[in-house]
């Protein structure tokens, strides 16, 4: 989409106790910073709150936004980004959505009553640092007991697993949701986090077999 408009009831005038317009506002503010981070013009995304009786205001806002988007040109092309590179950047962001929401959940749940505070909720430096420090999850081969729990619970099937085989997280598929580290039994503690450093390469498939000691060997 070359531009996206999000409209909602005025803040503090929502008919529902959840006040979803605050959630929408905070999500838009975060998305604008992410767009800026990957080289897209944040003005392509707009949020506006108004009542259902303000038809004239709605028409004016939409006309203004439509003209703005037309002036910016097609998404990516207006910013001078190659189509293939744009798809790659957007795909990476989409993959990290669960992680982005989890890490920023406190700010996303806040309620901003003063428009002057909007620009300060998420800063450019904060978002740049966030993406530099994105964590990765890694299964330590020496600790993995091939219990299959993490593989069964992974929502995106990003864990290569088999009975009596050390599990491996496919980093290209992983969304950093944190499910694997949450469900890994504490007595194993096989899943760890890595930040600011490359993830060690996975063991070769022929070296992933877990050799367990038999009861006879243990007794002897």
What single string gives the DSSP state of each residue in the chain?
A: ---EEEEEPPTT--SSTT-HHHHHHHHHHHHHHHHHHTT--GGGEEEEE--TT-HHHHHHHHHHHHHHHHHH-STTTTTT--HHHHHHHHHHHHHTHHHHHHHTHHHHT-----GGGHHHHS-HHHHHHHHHT--EEEE-TTT-----HHHHH-TT--EEEETTEEEEE-TTT-----HHHHHS-TTT--EEEE-SSPPPPPPPGGG-B--PPPHHHHH-
pLDDT of residue 214: 60
Q: What is the pLDDT of residues 75-118, one digit of tens each?
A: 999 999 999 999 999 999 999 998 999 899 999 999 987 888 88
pTM for the model stands at 0.79
pLDDT of residue 86: 97
**Which residue segments constitute the domains of the chain, with CATH numbers given?**
4-132 (no CATH), 136-219 (3.30.70.20)
């Amino acid at each position: 989409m070359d531009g996206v408009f999000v409209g909602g009831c005025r803040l503090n005038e929502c008919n529902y106790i959840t006040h979803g317009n605050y959630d929408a506002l905070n999500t838009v503010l975060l998305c604008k910073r992410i767009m800026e981070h990957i080289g897209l013009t944040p003005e392509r995304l707009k949020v506006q709150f108004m009542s259902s009786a303000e038809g004239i205001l709605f028409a004016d806002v939409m006309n203004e936004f439509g003209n703005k988007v037309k002036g910016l040109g097609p998404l990516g092309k207006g910013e001078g980004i190659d189509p293939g590179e744009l798809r790659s950047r957007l795909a990476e962001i989409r993959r990290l959505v669960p992680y982005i929401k989890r890490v920023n959940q406190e700010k996303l749940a806040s309620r901003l009553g003063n428009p002057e505070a909007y620009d300060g909720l998420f800063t450019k430096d904060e978002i740049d640092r966030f993406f530099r420090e994105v964590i990765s999850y890694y299964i330590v081969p020496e600790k993995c007991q091939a219990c299959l729990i993490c593989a069964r619970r992974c929502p995106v099937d990003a864990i290569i697993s088999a009975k009596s085989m050390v599990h491996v997280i496919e980093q290209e598929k992983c969304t950093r949701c944190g499910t694997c580290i949450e469900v890994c039994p504490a007595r194993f503690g096989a899943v760890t986090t890595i930040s600011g450093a490359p993830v060690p390469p996975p063991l070769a498939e022929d070296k992933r077999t877990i050799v367990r000691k038999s009861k006879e060997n243990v007794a002897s």
